[in-house]
Chain A
Amino acid sequence: MQSFMQTLVFGIFAGAIYGIAAMGLALVFGVLKILNIAHGELVMLGGYVGFWAFSTLGWDPFLSLIIVIPAIFIVGLILDRIVYRHIVRQLGEEKIKNSLLVSFGLGLVLQNLAQALFTGDERSVQVSYAGEGLNIYGVLLPWTRLATLGIVLIVTLALHFFLRKTYPGKAILATAEDYESAELAGINIGRVYMMTFALGAALAAIAGQFVTFTYSLAPSIGMTWTLKAMIVIVLAGTGSILGALPAGLLLGVVEAMAGAYLAQTYKEVAGLVIFLFVLIVRPQGLFVRK
């Protein structure tokens, strides 16, 4: 029972990171209607900014979020201006396919740039309080993981508030729903797209910062994170931005359980199985109200 609870808890903690990474992808997919395969590369870049802040400035990984987020937000703005701006104006099927291809190519560029700049070595951040945490009836809750979960919840709530209650947030939702009407209503949708993409990149960067002290960082991790985020958004359902969090938690728990009770080497397969299962049984997603 104790080990079951421990597995469950660690699954939830891992799922929180999946959730926030996927939320960025879901936001971009839902609003720009493009699929950004290079999303995982933004996670990776965010991780490197955090690693740099830790290794040269000696900042605590949670403190360095204050530079990681704006840095990758700006990267997102630049990428939108250079590349994605040209795709969002295309229509329908063509647009989604071209976005896949272009972001696939862009991912290759970013990964190899990172390889050239930061070398292929695996990096990770070790904080002094890494092993410490709460111990509840033998179930260990490390501080770092608790703080991760806390930040993910806060960011999710803040995003919810931003999208529902503020003017720019409402503009984003309006554009997602019907960009032509939004444009007629006086919303500058070019700017909405740019801001949304940058926001999605910033969410990826937060996930990347958590990766630095939870897992390890290398230029090649991008594809893995894109994949996790994609599995999560399929589970959550298209158009469900905040649904990415419960779906991420679900994936985290399923993987942790499969790793503990089936076989560690087939952990990823468990995620794939639920992914295909949801595609077949409930293609609209688990967390969509119809």
Chain B
Amino acid sequence: MKTTSRQLPSFKPSRRWLTPGAIAVLLAFAVVFPQQVAKDNVWNLFFLMCLGIAMGQSWNMLGGFAGQTSLGHAAFFGIGAIITRVLWFHGTPFFLALIVGGVAAATFAMIIGAPTFRLRGAYFAIGTLAVAEVLRITIAQNQPYISTMPGSMIAEYNLPSRYWLALGLAIATTGAAYMLLRSRWSLGILGVREDEEAAQATGVHVLRHKLLALGLSAVFMGLAGGVFAFKQISYYPEAPFFPTFTFEALMIAYIGGLGTVSGPVIGGIFFVVVRERLAANLTDVHQVIFGALFVVIVLLLPGGLLEIWDRSKRLALRVIRR
């Protein structure tokens, strides 16, 4: 991950307004626009963007900051979804159910994290993929029937409440990623990513830092799963365990810019808009184009969209100075 060297956000005095300004504009847009248009497809689109941002941030905490490529995030998403939904349907207040779902995902992550982190790189990826897929198959065989909201819940269903929750989650996740990066822990986590041996030698407890990143990542992925379970009226219980959710989270982090806080936000917006456009126009093959697009991004643009921004900025500076 040496290509993405923007680690700590730096604020130059002259442009101190830029980041808060951008955040304020983005937030104002996210709050005002859907309310003004007030159409179901706009609520939906904005919901998906927020969910995508939350998932991308979550994956990025582990994959971008700590450098541990997980291919099993769908497991955390699925656990969050299934636990939130079951508790909620059985009369638990929704927010309590949501939090229990997030905690359950993190607990599960800790259980599988300890053995799989004994292995580096590829094996961690294999281990997480194996765990997620086995979980999916087992859920599919044990819960083969579609899960539908009870009639009373459908009666009081409204899209805006789903969107506000997703927006809240996106903000919370982005905030958490920012705080994590500004905290003391981030030094250890980034150190583990750059060079595990060197970090170990300078006294960083490697496993503890990896587990911290994994745990935080899993909590937010689990919460995202809970929000998904809150939004969907009916789906097969295995659906949130599909590897596509892992892929979505990972792709958003990659497209935006791995290891940055703003990357997943940009990636999430870009990803969802492009996907929805492609899905609307080319229903059958949109996944094909998407997969191909991702392959091209990994091969040609390892820094994501932020790299285009950085490159063009550097180019502009060079032109000005001349």
Stretch at the interface among B48-56, B176-184, B284-292: B284-292
* Chain A positions within 8 Å of B254 at CB level: 101
* Chain B positions within 8 Å of A266 at CB level: 138
Q: Do A231 and B138 form a contact, CB below 8 Å, given A105-B291, A105-B298, A223-B243?
A: no
**Cβ-based interface call for B107 (8 A):** no
For A75-101 the 0/1 string (1 means CB < 8 A from B) is: 000000001001100000110111011
Tally of chain B residues near chain A (CB < 8 A): 42
**Cβ-based interface call for B116 (8 A):** yes
* Chain A positions within 8 Å of B247 at CB level: 104-105, 108
Q: Are the C-beta atoms of B295 and A283 separated by less than 8 Å?
A: no
User: B119 touches which one: A86, A93, A100, A283 (CB < 8 A)?
Assistant: A283
Q: Which residue of A lies closest to B129 (CB)?
A: A227
Q: Are the C-beta atoms of B69 and A97 separated by less than 8 Å?
A: yes
- A269→B133 CA distance, assembly (Å): 10
Q: Which residue of B lies closest to A276 (CB)?
A: B115
Q: Are the C-beta atoms of B127 and A279 separated by less than 8 Å?
A: yes
**Cβ-based interface call for B175 (8 A):** no
Stretch at the interface among A2-10, A109-117, A128-136, A195-203: A109-117
User: A101 touches which one: B69, B112, B127, B142 (CB < 8 A)?
Assistant: B69
Q: Which of A96, A105, A107 has the most CB of B within 10 A?
A: A105
Q: Which of B115, B130, B292 has the most CB of A within 10 A?
A: B130
Q: Are the C-beta atoms of B291 and A227 separated by less than 8 Å?
A: no
- A116→B126 CA distance, assembly (Å): 28
Q: Which residue of A lies closest to B114 (CB)?
A: A280
For B254-296 the 0/1 string (1 means CB < 8 A from A) is: 1000000000000000000000000000001101101110110
- A265→B122 CA distance, assembly (Å): 29
**Cβ-based interface call for B121 (8 A):** yes
Q: Which of B122, B287, B292, B302 has the most CB of A within 10 A?
A: B122
Q: Are the C-beta atoms of A272 and B130 separated by less than 8 Å?
A: yes
Q: Which residue of B lies closest to A110 (CB)?
A: B291
Q: How many A-B residue pairs have CB under 8 A?
A: 118
* Chain B positions within 8 Å of A276 at CB level: 112, 115-116, 127, 131
Q: Are the C-beta atoms of B127 and A112 separated by less than 8 Å?
A: no
Q: Are the C-beta atoms of A112 and B288 separated by less than 8 Å?
A: yes
**Cβ-based interface call for B134 (8 A):** yes
For B115-153 the 0/1 string (1 means CB < 8 A from A) is: 110111111011101110110011001100000000000
Q: Which of B116, B118, B254, B287 has the most CB of A within 10 A?
A: B287
- A35→B119 CA distance, assembly (Å): 15
- A101→B290 CA distance, assembly (Å): 13
Q: Which residue of A lies closest to B134 (CB)?
A: A272
**Cβ-based interface call for A230 (8 A):** yes
User: B285 touches which one: A87, A94, A107, A112 (CB < 8 A)?
Assistant: A112
Q: Can you list 30 A-B contacts (CB < 8 A)?
A: A35-B125, A97-B121, A97-B122, A98-B302, A100-B122, A101-B69, A101-B254, A101-B294, A104-B294, A105-B247, A105-B291, A105-B294, A105-B295, A106-B291, A108-B291, A109-B292, A112-B287, A223-B133, A224-B133, A224-B137, A230-B126, A264-B141, A265-B141, A276-B112, A276-B115, A279-B119, A279-B127, A280-B115, A283-B118, A283-B119
* Known interface pairs A102-B295, A227-B134; 7 further A-B residue pairs with C-beta atoms within 8 A, sorted by A's residue number: A93-B120, A97-B125, A104-B71, A234-B126, A265-B138, A272-B131, A279-B119
